[in-house]
A and B are shown apart, each in its own frame.
Chain A
Amino acid sequence: MIPLLDRPLVQFGLALAAVLILPLVMRSGTLASEILIYGLAVAACNLLLGYTGLLSFGQGIFFGLGSYVAGLGLVRAGLPAPVMLLLSLALGALVAAAVGWVSIRRQGVYFVMLTLAFSQMFYFLAYTFSGLTGGDNGLLDIPRPRLAGTVLSDPWTYYAFVAVLFLGLFAALQRVALSTFGRTLLAIRDNEGRAGAIGYPVRAFKVAAFAISGAVTAFAGALHAMLIGVAPLSNIDYHTSETLLIMTIVGGSANLFASLLGAGAYLLAADALSAIWPRWLLLLGLLLIVITLFLQRGLWGLIEHAVALVTRAPPPDGPAPDRPVVTDPAVAPVAEALPASDAGRAPEVAR
């Protein structure tokens, strides 16, 4: 049986609730839009990391690509925004399929290093072809999209536009994850050898996962460029890849809503901390260490345990998603009795 919190309708309901609550609690429509946009990109990253077991350092390539595609289309060619969004989806899928096709030929750390190399190479391309990308200055003057004759320049109007697209793509990603295709990805993640032996074309599935992830990430990149009016070089930088990965792990790679959680928590924390203390990155660093030690299922794991406390049901002590783990069944009832902070601790690993 699927745990309550992981049911697709519950997940979508949570996403919908988040989309509706953000305008009530946040002052800035721009930051709220950014949370949804990064939420999309992180969910796409999660499809690779959490569902397929692929740790890609190349997600920034697709994010930056989407930004540039949107910028070039809107500024240089004067194409309408919907066309550019579709085009960024298509090109994102294409480039991601190519990057994935090469990278998946190697595994483990070598796969990670390949995606890292690709990320550096695409950065170099964007930097060098400054006639196209604006180089270090970025591609400036990207307009907000126009809907029914009005430009969506008001932050909350643009937020509404982003929110609708976000929910649509979130549902689409859910469909992918729940489909036979998605289940096969999980099988590959858990035991690639066995999945191959059964007869699944493992590589084709991985490339497809890359393509879907890249398409959604590029789409998010395009939305981001329209949000801030520029396609900056930093969007295709290695640091964007790193940030997306960190958000994914912080949220938890168990399900797609966790990704929105990760993006939101990261961006809100960064925004709040950077306003108080110039050395806020120190706190971020400490946070990453704490998550590694005590919260391997991410913030989502914390919620699972909190819910388990309330409903008195045992929390889903499934393995942290990208590794096979043997858990002691005795841990779950104990966790129930503990206070929430302790209960958030991930099960001990034994192997």
Chain B
Amino acid sequence: MRDRRAFLKTSLTAAALGASGLPLSGILRGARAADGPLVIGAPLPISGAFAANGKYASLGAAFAAQEAGKILGRTVTVADIDTEGKPAPAARKVQEAMAQGTRLFAGGILSSEALVMGKEAAKSDGVFITTAGADEITGSDCNRGTFRWTVPTFGAIAQTVRPLIAQMPNAKRWYTITPQYVFGEGLLSAAKAVFQEKGIEHVGNSYHSLAEKEFSGYLTNAIAAKPDVLLLLNFGSQSSDALRQAVSFGLKKRMTIVLAWASGLEQFEALGADLCEGVYFGAQYWHGIDSPLNKALVTKVRETAKMTPNYSFAGSYQITKLLLDAAAKAGRADGPAVIKALEGMRYSGLTGEEEIRAADHQVIKDYYLLKGKAKSAMKDKDDFAEVIQSGKSFLSPEAAGCKMT
């Protein structure tokens, strides 16, 4: 993997140098000069516990920049910013990048870092677009400088729980396992609302802390409640641990398991096909999506980087591309102009037709329900799941609690 990364970076830098003929110091100094390279800051957890996401996201951003080549006559480069997965370094380094003249940022995997970076960007007329999960980003903490590509918790539940209820009319008893913080609460309350509406019996919920790795105790609670469906509302390595342990407790044979907020191909790779077979996953992106942009991306990335774009890669690619497209559309690369171009933009994105809602800066896009395939049914090593259904479900900006400032 390091080689691929190095390859992308080198070719990118070489392209930048060749095209602009600028000395390296010019690139490092940032985009202060209007005719210098156009720098997109990519603040990502490159070290720390979320390094896996950061690494692929960094590749995705670089890919988007390389593909764009030149925008407004300026060579596009991506400057990785290591947030270490923590809000404090994230905020500080975005401040620094802005002091160096960078105004456009695409990144932020974790909610806590994304929230604070959005605030930083907005303070000095910058733009920050993210794939993080917290509803507040385009809800109660929305601001002029922050945009979000990912579907909020409301849509994630609506596009996973609702179709499954319709598909399994006899599954009346659902049990939930929820991480205790704002993101988990968001998923849980959305799920509860659907349960109530559809007459589903919510037979129990287990809260756990963000540090938890041992789920056997919660699974025992779940078994005792005799549910038809086990709905996992955690994400990342916690959802992998929960699913792995649920399968080892033989729950796949006893109930349907649903993971509402999966991290995509990365997670399937870590878990392996045997564990994932027959399990339902909610996803923001899947490389099997049938859209022109996605097909082009998958083909191109497989050719040049010998990998299949996963969620971290694709999300980061898409948000970087959005910034570049908006700058091209605006004819300028300063923050207010790019914000104006992004607001209300309709475009053909990775998930098909997408639109950026002006009122809360939320991208309106599909969310996907996947089902894990048996190993024997996989067409290639990345063909872990089939898309069962997809669709758009969003609260109105008012209901999401966004008062744009």
Query: Interface of A with B (CB < 8 Å)?
Result: 27-31, 34, 124, 127, 130, 135-138, 140-141, 153, 155, 224, 227-230, 232-235, 274-275, 278-281
Contact = CB atoms under 8 A, between A and B. Distances in A.
Interface stretch (B115-123, B170-178, B226-234): B115-123
B111 interface: yes
A278 B112 contact: no
B46 A140 contact: no
Interface stretch (B84-92, B337-345, B347-355): B84-92
Contacts of A155: 95, 99
A233 B99 contact: no
Given A232-B88, A274-B84, A153 B123 contact: yes
A327 B91 CA distance: 47
Contacts of A227: 92
A64 B111 CA distance: 19
B182 A136 contact: yes
Contact of B46 (A141, A235, A278): A278
26 contacts: A29-B99, A30-B92, A31-B96, A34-B92, A127-B181, A135-B182, A136-B111, A136-B181, A136-B210, A138-B115, A138-B116, A155-B99, A224-B88, A228-B116, A229-B123, A230-B87, A230-B116, A232-B87, A232-B112, A234-B88, A274-B82, A278-B46, A278-B47, A278-B51, A278-B54, A281-B47
B86 A274 contact: no
Contact of A137 (B80, B82, B92, B112): B112
Contacts of A140: 115-116, 119, 141
A230 to B, nearest CB: 4
Interface string B201-242: 000000001100000000000000000000000000000000
A135 B136 CA distance: 13
Contacts of B95: 28, 30, 155, 228
A341 to B, nearest CB: 29
B134 interface: yes
B99 A234 contact: no
For the complex of A and B, the 3 pairs showing the least CB-CB separation, nearest first, are: A228-B91, A232-B87, A274-B82
A135 B82 CA distance: 23
Contact of A229 (B47, B96, B119, B136): B119
Contacts of A232: 86-88, 112, 116
A130 B88 CA distance: 18
Interface of B: 46-47, 51, 54-55, 80, 82, 84, 86-88, 91-92, 95-96, 99-100, 111-112, 115-116, 119-120, 123, 134, 136, 141, 181-183, 209-210
B364 to A, nearest CB: 24
A136 to B, nearest CB: 4
B158 to A, nearest CB: 23
A71 B54 CA distance: 29
A274 B100 CA distance: 18
Nearest to A120: B211
B82 A136 contact: no
A281 B141 CA distance: 33
Given A137-B182, A140-B116, A28 B99 contact: yes
Q: Which of B86, B92, B120 has the most CB of A within 10 A?
A: B92
B143 to A, nearest CB: 10
A153 B115 CA distance: 19
Contacts of B54: 278
Contacts of A138: 87, 112, 115-116
Contacts of A275: 80, 82
Nearest to B137: A137
B116 A130 contact: no
Nearest to B46: A278
A30 B210 contact: no
A233 B87 CA distance: 9
Nearest to B179: A136
Given A127-B210, A153-B123, A274 B111 contact: no
Contacts of A34: 92
A275 B210 CA distance: 28
A142 to B, nearest CB: 9
